């Protein structure tokens, strides 16, 4: 990126985020919009890009795309780099295109794991490289609709596992008897969240299908206020993810949390209940990851030139 | 029941089932209707009963009510008998009312467990007593929207645990990305069901939130046909219940399945994959349970008379 203006895009299913850097590598502007790929007609991605940040783009700009914009339903589908996947492997598997202005565009790949069972991610991998030092041994947790637990070791993503935590929480709250017991607009307290995590911790063996029903039983026996069901259920589901993540056997001294601050704080609280130390990563992991990847490319190019 | 005409009602959330016996205790008629309590206006239960089976009821008839008709949202709310709960305790906690015709009506109670965590059932308890011999040591599994694993020992329901299997399956299929991948009207094959059970068995530690996502990854990698997602997911969810049931530590030599034949057969197949023997109980467990309870009452009455 050094010497050229650059734009890093984190373009997902529901959100569009862009970061603009000057030729000296200094962040000079940020843009966010609810312009995720689900809201954009197939074939209209370049027009959407221009509508959001057109004035930033000149012939000399370098653009980096990360997130679901590189999936089958996005603009340019990139392959998956397979685990163990290094930052170099991501750079190699990225796909180049040219913008109408002449600017170069690089679409980053996702990462796939084949064994012991197939799993995929797209967008989180660059955040992992942004959240870790090159030679660090770390377990990175990225909470969300489809949370990821990722093991980074010797400069590579060695393995990872997806948990459908956010999506299952929404389905339980929106489409089961548990949600129907919850009064409209009820907020709930942090104590209910902790109670859910503890309940899940003590019933991890019997699993989520059993633990979730306790929301109903506890309301019947006045051990839980109906207004607290949402928070309690959030604790149950996040607790199930943490119990599952610990069962992977990676035995982390600490987990590094990458995500929105409010959600990361919720995970940190749940981890503490499980006796697990957590650290919250800086907010700009996508930018850090892409800058590491871009620097790498320049080194490689320099190598070829020498 | 001996000496009087009797009617046993299994009246749940969605279904109404009635069994008519003559004074000699012989089953002479059955009636089924989609007249569950959710479809009936509060205060209209007696009218609904009369509409369904009015001609069966005379002043000398004895009616027994089991199922959600005895819940807060039903006709007559009965208390919960607490575990360990015997058939005698159910008889004692039942509530009597008189029908307009003069017929006697007995509403059976549900069962509650308080420790290690609260849990409740209403309707399944009488099926358990119908499925077990009085002194039998047995683990009874009642698959459904809210499946129950019940331990029957020394003539009592000692403990039980609910799993939200059916409801979570419907929520995952109807309200997550997994269902959106499934083509409308696709049937799927039995092999996909078995594959889901085996996947869950091998990833029981990481849990349902993780295992469910494999439906998406396997479709991406052509290891699963989109049309098979429903069956695969059914295997994942039922597998999660069996893994959770085994984690209760009851260590059953066999589980006894009580439920609709097609669903019971599905559980039997899943249990077999887990190396667990299962037996399918006769279909009329509610009737058997109520007849045992009624016989008990008569013995008690006889006792008082002597």
What ipTM was assigned to the predicted interfaces of this complex? 0.92
- Which stretch of A32-36, A64-68, B19-23, B39-43 has the lowest confidence by average pLDDT? B39-43
Angle between helices B165-175 and A208-220 (to 10 degrees): 110
pLDDT of residue B230: 96
Distance from CA of A13 to the nearest CA of B (A): 12
Cβ of A247 and B206 within 8 Å?
yes
Average pLDDT over residues B266-294: 95
Measured distance CA(A225)–CA(A217) in Å, rounded: 11
The token pair at B34 is 């989609």
Measured distance CA(B212)–CA(B233) in Å, rounded: 7
Tell the residue number behind the tokens 């569009």, with chain if given.
A16
**Dihedral sign from CA coordinates of B169, B174, B177, B183:** positive
Measured distance CA(B37)–CA(B167) in Å, rounded: 18
**What backbone phi and psi angles, to 5 degrees, belong to A95?**
-120, 130
Residue A181 neighbours by CB distance under 10 Å: 14
pLDDT of residue A156: 98
Cβ of A163 and B213 within 8 Å?
yes
Residue A145 pLDDT class (50, 70, 90 cuts)? very high
Cβ of B162 and A210 within 8 Å?
yes
Measured distance CA(B130)–CA(B283) in Å, rounded: 10
**What backbone phi and psi angles, to 5 degrees, belong to B213?**
-65, -20
- Which stretch of A158-167, B27-36, B177-186, B262-271 has the lowest confidence by average pLDDT? B177-186
Please list the residues that pair with A62 across neighbouring strands.
A6, A104
Residue A189 pLDDT class (50, 70, 90 cuts)? confident
Q: Report chain A residues whose CB lies below 8 A from the CB of B233.
A: none
Quick check: helix, strand or coil at residue B292?
helix
pLDDT for A186 beyond 60:
yes
Q: What are the Cα distances from residue A28, in Å, to A18, A24, A127, B133?
A: 11, 10, 21, 78
Q: Report chain A residues whose CB lies below 8 A from the CB of B214.
A: 117-119
Q: Which helix (H) or strand (E) holds A166?
A: helix A165-175
- Residue-wise pLDDT tens digits, B161-197: 999 999 999 999 999 999 888 888 888 888 999 999 9
CB A107 within 8 A of CB A99: no
Average pLDDT over residues B287-297: 89
- Residue-wise pLDDT tens digits, A279-291: 999 988 999 999 9
The token pair at B54 is 């009015």
Measured distance CA(B159)–CA(B137) in Å, rounded: 12
Average pLDDT over residues A64-81: 95
Q: Which of B147, B171, B243 sits opposite A175 (nearest CB)?
A: B171
Distance from CA of B210 to the nearest CA of A (A): 4
Nearest to A81, CA basis, from A127, A122, A36, A34: A122
**Dihedral sign from CA coordinates of A50, A55, A56, A61:** positive
Q: Report chain A residues whose CB lies below 8 A from the CB of B235.
A: none
Q: Are strands B80-82 and B110-113 parallel, antiparallel or unpaired?
A: parallel
Q: Report chain A residues whose CB lies below 8 A from the CB of B172.
A: 168, 171
pLDDT for B2 beyond 80:
no
- Residue-wise pLDDT tens digits, B49-75: 999 999 999 999 999 999 999 998 899
Cβ of A213 and B164 within 8 Å?
yes
pLDDT of residue A300: 52
Residue B3 pLDDT class (50, 70, 90 cuts)? confident
Distance from CA of A171 to the nearest CA of B (A): 6
The percentage of chain B sitting over the pLDDT mark of 70, rounded to a whole number, equals 96
Please list the residues that pair with B135 across neighbouring strands.
none
Strands across the sheet containing B80-82: B80-82, B110-113, B119-121
Distance of CA A45 to the CA centre of its chain: 22
pLDDT for A136 beyond 90:
yes
pLDDT of residue B306: 34
Residue B300 pLDDT class (50, 70, 90 cuts)? low
Strand residue runs (E) in A207-274: 254-257
Average pLDDT over residues B135-158: 97
- Residue-wise pLDDT tens digits, A224-249: 999 999 999 999 999 999 999 999 99
Cβ of B206 and A162 within 8 Å?
no
* Residues comprising chain B, all counted: 306
Measured distance CA(A71)–CA(A78) in Å, rounded: 7
Residue B298 pLDDT class (50, 70, 90 cuts)? low
- Which stretch of A272-281, A295-304, B34-43 has the lowest confidence by average pLDDT? A295-304
pLDDT of residue A259: 93
Q: Report chain A residues whose CB lies below 8 A from the CB of B207.
A: 163, 207-208, 240-241, 243-244, 247
Cβ of B244 and A210 within 8 Å?
yes
- Check: pTM over 0.80? Answer yes or no: yes
Residue A110 neighbours by CB distance under 10 Å: 25
Task: Name all domains of chain A by residue range, CATH numbers in brackets.
Answer: 6-162+283-305 (3.30.420.300), 164-275 (3.30.420.310)
């Amino acid at each position: 990126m050094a010497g050229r203006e650059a734009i890093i895009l984190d373009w997902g299913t529901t959100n569009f985020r862009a970061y603009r850097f000057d030729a000296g590598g200094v962040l000079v502007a940020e843009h966010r919009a609810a312009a995720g790929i689900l809201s954009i007609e197939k074939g209209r991605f370049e027009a959407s890009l221009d509508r959001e940040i057109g004035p930033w783009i000149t012939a000399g700009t370098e653009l980096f795309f990360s997130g679901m914009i590189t999936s089958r339903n996005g603009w340019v589908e990139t392959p998956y780099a397979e685990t163990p996947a290094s930052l170099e492997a991501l750079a190699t598997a990225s796909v180049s295109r040219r913008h109408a202005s002449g600017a170069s565009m690089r679409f980053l790949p996702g990462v796939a794991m084949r064994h012991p069972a197939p799993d995929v991610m797209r967008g989180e991998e660059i955040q992992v490289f942004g959240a870790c030092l090159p030679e660090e041994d770390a377990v990175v947790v990225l909470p969300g609709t489809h949370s990821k637990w990722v093991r980074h070791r010797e400069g590579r993503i060695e393995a990872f596992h997806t948990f459908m935590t956010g999506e299952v929480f929404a389905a339980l709250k929106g489409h089961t008897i548990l949600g129907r017991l919850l009064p409209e607009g009820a907020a709930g307290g942090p104590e209910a969240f902790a109670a859910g995590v503890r309940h899940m911790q003590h019933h991890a063996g019997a699993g989520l299908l059993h633990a979730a029903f306790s929301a109903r039983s506890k309301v019947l026996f006045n051990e839980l206020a109906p207004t607290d069901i949402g928070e309690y259920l959030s604790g149950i589901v996040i607790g199930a993810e943490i119990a599952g993540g610990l069962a992977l056997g990676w035995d982390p001294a600490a987990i590094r949390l990458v995500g929105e601050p409010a959600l990361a704080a919720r995970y940190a609280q749940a981890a503490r209940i499980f006796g697990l130390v957590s650290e919250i990563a800086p907010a700009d992991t996508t930018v850090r990851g892409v800058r590491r990847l871009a620097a790498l490319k320049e080194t490689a190019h320099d190598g070829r030139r020498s």
